[in-house]
Amino acid sequence: MGPRSDLRLALLNPWQRDFPLVREPFAHIATSLGMAPDEVLAGYARLQGEGALSRIGGVFAGNAGGAALLAAMAVPPERLDAVAAVVSSHPGVNHNYQREHHYNLWFVMTGQDDAAVRAAMQSLEETTGLIALHLRMLRAYRIDLGFDLRERTAPAPMAAALAAQPVAEADRPLAALLEDGLPLTPRPYDTWAQALGRTPESVLQTLQQWLDEGTLRRIGAIVRHHELGFDANAMTVFNIPDAQVDAFGEALAREPGVTLAYRRERAEGWPYNLYCMVHGRDRAAVHEVIARAIADVGLAPYPHEVLFSCRRFKQTGPRRFRALPAATAPEVLDALAG
- Per-residue model confidence (pLDDT) at position 2: 45
Chain-centroid distance, C-alpha 289: 20
Residue 145: phi and psi, rounded to 5, are -100, 15
Helix ranges (DSSP H) in 51-105: 80-89
How far apart are alpha carbons 16 and 14 in whole angstroms?
6
111 conformational bin, left if phi > 0, alpha if psi -120 to 50, beta if neither: beta
Tell me the whole-structure pTM to 2 decimals. Answer: 0.83
Q: Which helix (H) or strand (E) holds 321?
A: none
**Per-residue 3-state assignment (H helix, E strand, C coil) for 205-225:** HHHHHHHHHCCEEEEEEEECH
Residue 271: phi and psi, rounded to 5, are -85, 0
- Nearest Cα to 21, choosing from 211, 213, 168? 211
- Nearest Cα to 256, choosing from 289, 305, 219, 207? 289
Query: What distance, in Å, lies between the first and last C-alpha atoms of the chain?
Result: 47
pLDDT tens-digit map of 202-215: 999 999 999 999 89
Mean pLDDT lowest among 10-19, 137-146, 209-218, 301-310: 137-146
- Nearest Cα to 160, choosing from 246, 73, 56? 246
Asked if 124 and 117 touch (Cβ cutoff 8 Å), the reply is: no
pLDDT tens-digit map of 123-166: 999 999 999 999 999 998 887 655 555 555 555 555 555 567 89
